[in-house]
Amino acid sequence: MSARILDGKALAQELRAEAAAQIAELRTQIDRPPTIAVVQVGDDPAATRYVRSIDRLCQSLGAACRAIALPAETAQADLEATVATLSADDRIDGILLQLPLPAGLTLDGVLSRLAPEKDLDGIHPINAGLLAQGRPTLTPNTPAGGIELIQRYGIEIRGRRAAVVGRSAIVGRPMALLLLQADATVTICHSRTTDLGAVLRECDIIAAAAGRPGLITADMVKPGATVIDFGTNVLADGSMVGDVDFAAVAEVAGAITPVPGGTGPVTNVMLMRNLITATRTRLGI
């Protein structure tokens, strides 16, 4: 293997220490821990595990987490009322809504009741709009973590050609905008892109967020390119792989994130960074 491994676990540890220090400083300025409200509708086990992991992370960093569990049959109006109440609650600094919502509930109505300054996922149209205008504030955590990995490993983004595979509102699209913000020349690819390989071979940075195991093969990658793999695909044998054919691409790329252990571990810490930003911005400190 020739590529440098961009170790998300190691970076996450570093970022956690930084976040803990910032939260400790915040706690000297406010009389309580910065607090996240996590809203979960239904009892999907993966979502429940995720909420627990956020709670543990908050505790370990000196923040607080208030978990709000609503039954799967919650009415749209009740969910919206819960989010509106949390948005108005002065002791809640950030709100995280577990997605996807159960069938029958729509995100748009909920987002209209979410205070944009507490939107820790960066999915409120105001935050998405600010990012699109090049004025990022609260940005989606997964792509923010991808940028952090590239920058912390000292890889230049400015002036480089970059491609993002995937255009979802939560990963691909904001990743493209964050790369643009960092002065890359960016192409966004999706399921209708013709000849994906021809586009990717021109790029110095490839970010894969398609949710398709093995989509990015070695022949699509320019020698020396940086490859960021957001994909998390669980195979029939229970193992987890990304969108990139890791073993083969690692022979060609200059730097690559593994799956697991790449972008995943960084994502949650970026959530804490958004909590710190949200708390400071809202309280003007």
Residue 116 contacts ligand NDP per CB under 6 A: no
Among 39, 264, 270, 271, binds ligand NDP (CB under 6 A): 264
**Stretches 110-118, 178-186, 210-218, 271-279: which one binds ligand NDP (CB under 6 A)?**
210-218
Residue 215 contacts ligand NDP per CB under 6 A: yes
Q: Between residues 8 and 33, which has the closer beta carbon with respect to ligand NDP?
A: 8
Among positions 139-198, residues that touch ligand NDP (CB under 6 A) are: 142, 165-168, 170-172, 189-193, 196
Q: Between residues 26 and 244, which has the closer beta carbon with respect to ligand NDP?
A: 244
Residue 221 contacts ligand NDP per CB under 6 A: no
- The secondary structure of the chain as a DSSP string is --SEE--HHHHHHHHHHHHHHHHHHHHHHSSS--EEEEEEES--HHHHHHHHHHHHHHHHHT-EEEEEEE-TT--HHHHHHHHHHHHH-TT--EEEE-SSPPTT--HHHHHTTS-GGGBTTS-SHHHHHHHHTT--SS--HHHHHHHHHHHHTT---TT-EEEEE---TTTHHHHHHHHHHTT-EEEEE-TT-S-HHHHHTT-SEEEE-S--TT-B-GGGS-TT-EEEE---EE-TTS-EE-SB-HHHHTTT-SEE--SSSSHHHHHHHHHHHHHHHHHHHHHT-
Taking the complex as a whole, how short is the minimal distance between the CB of residue 104 and ligand NDP, in angstroms? 20
Q: Between residues 137 and 168, which has the closer beta carbon with respect to ligand NDP?
A: 168
Q: Between residues 42 and 143, which has the closer beta carbon with respect to ligand NDP?
A: 143
Residue 241 contacts ligand NDP per CB under 6 A: no
Q: Between residues 82 and 226, which has the closer beta carbon with respect to ligand NDP?
A: 226
Residues in binding contact with ligand NDP, number by CB under 6 A: 26
The four Cα atoms 189, 205, 268, 101 give a dihedral, to 10 degrees, of 0
Among positions 35-94, residues that touch ligand NDP (CB under 6 A) are: none
Taking the complex as a whole, how short is the minimal distance between the CB of residue 91 and ligand NDP, in angstroms? 28
Residue 267 contacts ligand NDP per CB under 6 A: yes
Site residues (vs ligand NDP, CB under 6 A): 142, 165-168, 170-172, 189-193, 196, 209-212, 215, 230-233, 263-264, 267
